Structure 1
Amino acid sequence: MLNKIKKLKNMPREEIFFRFQEKALELYEMIRHISGRDLLDEKKWAEDICGLTYDSNFKQKLFERFVNTKADFFFTESYEKTKRCKLIKEKLEWKDWISEADDILKGNIVSLGCQMKIPSGKSWHLDPVKGKPWPEKFYKQAENAGDMKACDIKYVWEISRHQYLVVLAKAFRLTGDEKYAEKIFTILQNWIAANPYHSGVNWSSSLELAVRMISWIWALFFCKDSKFLTPDICALVLKSIYEHGRHISNHLSYYSSPYNHLTGEAAALYLTGALFPVFKESKTWKKTGWDMLEDNVEKQFHEDGMCVEQALFYHHFTLGFYLQALLLKRLHGENVSESMLNRLEKALEFSMHASRPDSRMPMIGDIDNARSLYFSGKHSWDFRGFTGIGAILFQRPDFKYISGESAEEIYWLFTDKEIHDFLMTKETRPAELSKAFYKSGYFIFRDSWTDESNYLCFDCGETACGLSEDDIPSAAHGHADALSFQLSAFGSPILTDGGFYTYSGEEEWHRYFRQEEAHNTIRCGNKRQAVYGGRFKWKQVKNPVLTSWNLSEYLEIAAGRIDYDARAFHQREVVYIKNYFWLINDLVNTEDDDNISCFFHFDPDAEIIIDEINQQITACNGDKGLIIKYFKQALIKSRKGEISPGGGWTAWGYGMKKPSYCIEMIMDAKQERIFSPLLMIPWKKSRDGISFQDYDLSQTDFSAKIFIKGNEFLVSRSDESGISVLMNGEHIS
């Protein structure tokens, strides 16, 4: 309560007024819901909303308006169906979609890593993990039901996002088999009957409604020519879509969740307004949705392209909403502003540069498996479809180099000519290798654009936009991961992030994956980069500052520093001797009794060997690996798959975790200042030819001699002269 009062005192008047209006509207809606006056009767729906005469032909007229839309009205109508399906069958692994669709026909889906059954009737309100039903009350009462606090609402929401309907719809599109369309409309009828307007938790989040609406839109347009899309079913679904749009327009997340939530809601409003002109509010929704997207694009993405939430899954979630709306507007022959196009191109450039050599993204920030463009199969960290869209939209051959020609999204979203031009375009490698993203604070090292390149992503960015240094908790999807890094050796991921597990599950697991211990960074005693303020929330945030970024022919350096107070700080310097090895220098100033813990999280497929005598850790992932040589005396703790959250786990998706090695290197802070250098040497097929000889380590000075495949390196670092590297006796820079 005290935190809420503090937050209220800091709110601008406009936000207080908006939130007051929101609460008043919810009360009004609850009174109408309890009295049964919020249900839309058929006559009012026909005449007041659709502008049609309410008679025996009303549903037929509505049906005809939907199915007889002009060419290029939606993506599925912008190309010749038979020709496109043939191309998809030539280019993509489409039979996997059919297998998945056949599983869905049997009622089986995979949701948030769990095998589940598609609900029916009242089970749409059932928590599929705990087996406990959410109350079928007014949506706010249902969401806040005290006896449901142990349940994670994400699971019941996820099933009602209906994104698996898109899988069925694609199967119908490609095969023409009516059984897939029949299943879609059976599910829709069942859901609508079990979830009357404003009844139950499936109406409690505007974003959930937005994602569900978009799923329905794709399913409807894919199945427009199905015999199971009757006038009765069409009217039923369109009426529910209208109710979804009405709720979203009344409950936009301007202040409560102004990032990916607001973007998803705006995109859904725009799509609904543009695609269903029969609704009386369509023009308003279309304009409101687009204006919000336009006005907020520079608030959603930094000028360097990364999303302000500092979470790469949400980066693509937000980006997918924007791209979908933009492409529809473009299909309708309407202009898109240069400012929006420029910012979205930057967002795609960030995705291109952040991608690892194995084509997956580094795990940064929260994850909830959300996809705004529900293509390209099951959950993964592979977002190449987005750069494929960008390759066509912005005519970027370097984007095509990343996406290849197997990105499913492009074959559903573009015209025949655009696809033809894309396939004829010769891809080119991106011009830059290592790249700085100053505003968001990410610094990417790589030595090539092949699938066997060495790669490191260094995080020197803020925890997330909108957080503060005071004691007032604020929600954010960013983690306490400042000065962490992720590393691939010869294309194989070795050091990765701990990831993220759940929002509403056991709190110790939720908390662990957001704090320093789950990232490749340092915990400075009891000091924190950000203080945990409850689920989603941070307070007393300390953000790092960049102290150096320098690229030369053979040497690349990034360095950052985070200050905990007037005395304590952590400074990390990342030095890449191109094509050979990394030097990581950590300098920590702390209280005399603080222990320093340096964490390393290894890919779940990696194996490790710890040699404490020679102060060396060897990791391998297949025939590629990394040697980590440490010079500071430390206690080494290795954990994998233990019961506790910190027991060695990688949470690669929501509710999904795998055992993986976590090493904690503990240095006893008997002195005020600790300097700990680390050498990290990638190897391929064999570790032979890599050795270490003389080294010297003082309080802040260091030198070491390394032999790598017949080359001798002398590396030194001092406060006075900085970094020096000799290769076979010659200075390199």
Structure 2
Amino acid sequence: MAVRGRHGERVFVVTLSLCFAWNLVLQGTVAAQDQKAVDIPALEALAQVSPEGFLGDLCDDVPELAPARVALANGDLDGAIAAYVGHFRARPVSHPLMVAWSAIEPATGHNTNAADETLSGFIRDGYNVHQVPESGLDWIGCPLICLTRFPHLQAVLYAAHHTGDPRYVRYTVEHVLEYMENWPIADFIGKGIEGWVDNYTVTRPWHWCMLSPRLQCLGDVVNLTRASEQVTDRERFDILHRMYQETAYMRIYMQKQVDARHNGGLDMLRAMAVACEVLSDFQVPQQWRQDNGRMAKQYLSESFYPDGMNIELTQAYSQSIAAASQTLALMLRDEPDVQELFPLMEAIAGWAIGVGKPTGSLPSYGDLRAGSFAGALNMELIELLDVPWVKTIVERTDGPEPPATVWPWPGEEAWGGLYTMRSDWSPEALYMCINGGPWGISHRHGDRLSFVVSAYGADFIIDPPSTRYHSNEPDAFVSRQAAGFLHNSITIDGVDQFEYARDEQGQVVQTVPREVTEPLDNTWEHGEDYTLWISDYSFVPILNANWERRVVFADKSYWLLQDVITGEGFAGAGQPVTIEQNFQFDEHIEIEFDGNITIATAPNGARLVLLPLEGDLQPQLSKGDTTPHTSYWPDGIPKQDLSTSTDTALPHGRGWVGRGNKLQPAPAVTYVGQVQLRTALTVAILPLKPNQELSDLVDIGKEMSDTRTLWTLPTETGALHVETSADACKVRP
């Protein structure tokens, strides 16, 4: 007997003996997947499993599946499909990583604009846009680089749920089936998980960044449409079958991604958890679920520093990685190995709270714009940990406060490299975060020693966020803003920070490691009325020069910033060098100068004053400078175009912040001038409340000797004395 598949091809029904043969193959696959071993041929076979073989993997100890197994054994594929899909539609499917459709009350008046736009043929994939021509969507060559991970279906799914309009369900299902027809699973085999083409062509669906998000989306698709009468049993079955195949394909490469501690490995763990829930009626996914638990424990234990910072260090990615990791820990909380990781989960909570700005977000070190620190936390897991102060800060309620107003907490080791100091835990607190760590294992920027400042409810000095990586929209102006000169840092003779460069012998010199295996040795000292931080950066081998940055937070009221630059520039020893000392402000800040003093005013009336105390540099204002600027990031080679094969970086100067697909003008103040090395540039950073007068600024004393300078910093109870020289900075008793 023969039946016809969705596209009319003839499918021959297997005999009972062939079903038994498939089960033997599948059981052999399960046995082969002990610990980290991956049986690639067996998994590739599963990735191409036929409809009969797929049903042949149904669990044989579930009575409700007996009708499907009997029909299959009798050669009735249609009957087996109908029996299984009937069971699937009736059983509950839920998972913490899936949309809980049943818990979302349909809302009258739900905004369907985004969904309607998609149904009209205008698709946005998060980067590019495309109007589908009358001839149909080109799944291979259209400019939607993220088409095959289905980002545009989210709005359609929610529209289907809230309105009940069958158009949205039919579009979703037909779109998925069309994808399957244009990208048959056989095309995946042997391709690995790299499939990038360029910024204007569909990324191949086996690419890791398409594969795991698509599986998670398909989980939400089949769960939402389970009860819909607009979807046929065969359509549901075909999508479930494809989920099984793609999950088998993903399983081949998961261990490698987890071993690399890549964020793609974490997303694969999430996708596998969803797929195993949807496919829980089948035998092989039971083994995959066990493998997933083991790999999740490995990822959690290896992807974070002891201080709770994720090894990528990019804060926008760290936020989502931390939240997803806590969700994994919550899911596996009954496992003894995972319970042993609860102190690490507490450290992650400490990072989110300790680094989070009083205004609510994380600082945007690295790619993209970082979101809220609360978004990095799974509050259900937090309830199981010994961190009662998290709820106090997240919910802005009365209760226990964090252990200190500096992070890392006093006495604890610093690993990831972010350090924060604040006056208190209110939204109006004075706050500085400074970066003195490794570059991070991905999404790196030239932002070492760059800092951010918030005060009295306003973000003043920021680490400039980037746009999305690329866009084909006509008004797009995209950039990662990775170049060192764009950050709150120093350039010497036009040389900004670089990650590595070749010396005269052609050997690669790494300026700062991407990852550390020991705690950082930066100065992080605390006294009754001060915090002192010191770290440095070397420009070798491009320049024989070194830059040390020192920060004193005095009386929890203001900062003394000192940049000490030693060595020589391109002209050699004893010759003057050109120095640029940059301060990038938020886009909403207004700037005015009083001589060489910078006065920055926030929309709420709070002000931040940059008062130079030492050095002869003069301020220059840049805002939306489109003039190409040379950077040495990341390889020590001067260039004006920092684009790569996977992102666009249109050449530009200072004075920008990224939002969506375009840079927005934002004021950057750069102090510029020629100096002799050694030199010290000392600046007081002085916050003022709304309506507070400039005459209220503290009067900082300065007493110089031949080699040392003694700074007198007024405090509420007296004065703090800081002694600086070219070689040292210390707070006197």
TM-score category, normalised to shorter length: 0.7 to 0.9
Amino acid across the alignment from 1:277: S
Structure 2 unpaired stretches of 5+: 1-36, 61-68, 189-201, 514-519, 629-650
C-alpha change, 1:180 and 1:460, in structure 2 (3 Å) is: same
Match for residue 484 of structure 1 among 434, 450, 453: 450
Q: Which of 417, 421, 424 does residue 441 from structure 1 map onto?
A: 417
For residues 52 and 404 of structure 2, the distance between their equivalents in structure 1, rounded to whole angstroms, comes to 62
Query: Aligned partners of 1:589, 1:531: CA distance in 2, in Å?
Result: 20
Q: 3-state SS of the aligned residue for 2:289?
A: helix
Say yes or no: does 1:583 pair with 2:560.
yes
User: Within 5 Å, which residues of 2 pair with 1:184-195?
Assistant: 184-195=172-183
Per the TM alignment, residue 225 of structure 1 is displaced from its structure 2 partner at its CA by 2.7
Q: After the TM superposition, which residues 715-730 of structure 1 pair with which residues of structure 2 at under 5 Å, given as runs?
A: 716-719=722-725, 722=729
TM-score by length of 1: 0.72
Residues 483-532 of structure 1 show CA distances to partners (whole Å, capped at 9, x for unaligned) of: 111111112111111223465789xx999722321221223443744137
Following TM superposition, by how much is the alpha carbon of 1:462 offset from its aligned partner in structure 2, in angstroms? 0.7
The aligned residue for residue 601 of structure 1 is 584
1:661 equivalent in structure 2: 667
Change (3 A) 1:439 1:44: same
1:430 maps onto 2:402 in alignment: yes
| CA-to-aligned-CA distance 1:668-703 (integer Å, 9 cap, x gap) | 242x31111111111222351334767647586446
Amino acid at match of 1:267: R
Distance 2:398 2:692 in 1: 38
Q: What residue ranges of structure 1 are gaps of 5+ in the alignment?
A: 1-21, 129-154, 370-378, 406-424, 466-475, 726-732
Aligned residues: 612
- The C-alpha deviation readout for 1:247-270, integer Å capped at 9, x for no partner, is 211233726954212222233223
1:542 to 504, 511, 516: 511
Going from structure 1 to structure 2, the CA distance change for 1:167 and 1:527 (only over 3 Å counts) comes to closer
**1:504-653 correspondence to structure 2 within 5 Å:** 513-525=481-493, 526=495, 528-531=497-500, 540-543=509-512, 546-565=521-540, 568-591=545-568, 592=573, 593=575, 594-611=577-594, 613-631=595-613, 632-643=615-626, 644=628, 645-652=651-658
CA distance in 1, matches of 2:84, 2:335: 26
Partner of 1:678: 683
Contact 1:210 1:268 (C-alpha < 8 Å) held by counterparts: yes
SS of match in other structure, 1:561: strand
Contact 1:555-1:575 at 8 Å conserved across structures? yes
* Structure 2: distance between partners of 1:712 and 1:621: 33
Distance 1:694-1:322 versus aligned 2 partners, 3 A rule: closer
Instruction: Go from structure 1 to structure 2 and tell me whether the alpha carbon gap of 1:336 and 1:652 turns closer, same or farther (over 3 Å shift).
Output: farther
Q: Return the letter of the residue paired with 1:364.
A: Y
Query: Match for residue 150 of structure 2?
Result: 162
- TM-score, normalised relative to structure 2: 0.72
Aligned identity (percent) is 17
- Inter-CA distance 578–299: structure 2 relative to 1 (3 Å threshold): same
1:185 Cα deviation from its structure 2 partner? 2.3
Aligned-residue RMSD, C-alpha: 4.2
> Is the Cα contact below 8 Å between 2:215 and 2:271 reproduced in 1?
yes
Give the conservation status (yes or no) of the 8 Å contact 2:580–2:673. yes
Residue 319 (structure 1) shift: 2.8
Higher helix share: 1
2:429 counterpart (440, 450, 453)? 453
1:47 maps to which of 56, 79, 87: 56
Question: Residue 62 of structure 1: SS of its match in structure 2?
Answer: helix
| CA–CA separation in structure 1 for the residues paired with 2:153 and 2:99 | 21
Code of the aligned partner of 2:352: S
In structure 2, the partner of 1:196 is: 184
Query: Paired residue for 1:59, among 63, 70, 81?
Result: 81
Give the partner amino acid of 1:445: M
Alignment check: 8 A CA contact 1:546 1:561 kept: no
Structure 2 distance, partners of 1:127, 1:649, is 34
Mapped partners of 2:486, 2:255: distance in 1: 30
1:311 is displaced (CA, Å) by 0.8
- Computing the radius of gyration from Cα coordinates, the structure with the larger value is 2
Moved more, 177-186 or 477-486: 177-186
Cα distance in 1, alignment partners of residues 553 and 282 from structure 2:
59
Residue in structure 2 matched with residue 134 of structure 1 by the alignment: none
The code of the aligned residue for 2:377 comes to F
**What is the rounded CA distance, in whole Å, between the counterparts of 1:280 and 1:554 in structure 2?**
63
Offset, 1:308: 0.5
Give the 3-state SS of the residue equivalent to 2:346 in structure 1.
helix
8 Å contact from structure 1 (residues 125, 156) kept in 2 = no
1:231 corresponding residue in structure 2: 233
* Alignment map for 1:351-500 (pairs within 5 Å): 351-367=352-368, 380=371, 383-384=374-375, 386-392=377-383, 394=385, 396-404=387-395, 428-436=400-408, 438-465=414-441, 476-500=442-466
Q: What is the rounded CA distance, in whole Å, between the counterparts of 1:501 and 1:694 in structure 2? A: 40
Q: Specify the alignment match of 1:374 in structure 2.
A: none
Change (3 A) 1:697 1:528: farther
Among 316, 319, 322, the residue aligned to 1:319? 322
Paired with 1:236 and 1:404, the residues of 2 have a C-alpha distance of 45
Once the two structures are superposed, residues 596-640 of structure 1 have per-residue CA deviations (whole angstroms, 9 ceiling, x without a partner) of 3222111122221133x2443434344222111113111433221
- Tell me how far 1:69 sits from its aligned partner: 2.9
Deviation at 1:451, TM superposition (A): 1.7
- Cα deviation, residue 219, structure 1: 3.4
SS of the aligned residue for 1:432 comes to coil
Distance 2:270 2:508 in 1: 31
Does the CA-based 8 Å contact 2:601-2:607 persist in structure 1?
yes
Q: Following the alignment from structure 1 to structure 2, what is the Cα–Cα distance between the partners of residues 624 and 713?
A: 25
* C-alpha distance after superposition, 1:81-102 (max 9, x if no partner): 4xx446x98xxxx977666555
Measured in 2, the distance between the counterparts of 1:455 and 1:497 equals: 14
* Partner residue in 1 for 2:25: none
Alignment map for 1:61-100 (pairs within 5 Å): 61-70=83-92, 73-75=94-96, 81=102, 84-85=103-104
Read off the aligned partner of 2:581 and give its amino acid letter: C
Q: Deviations over 1:348-396 (max 9, x none)?
A: 33112221112111101123x8xxxxxxxxx955653635344345475
- Matched residue type, 2:204: N
- Report the counterpart of residue 215 of structure 1 in structure 2: 217
Q: Counterpart of 2:600 in 1: which secondary structure? A: strand
1:307 aligned residue (288, 307, 310): 310
Distance in 2 between the 1:403 and 1:219 partners? 33
Structure 1 position 307, deviation (Å)? 0.4
Give the secondary structure class of the aligned counterpart of 2:238: helix
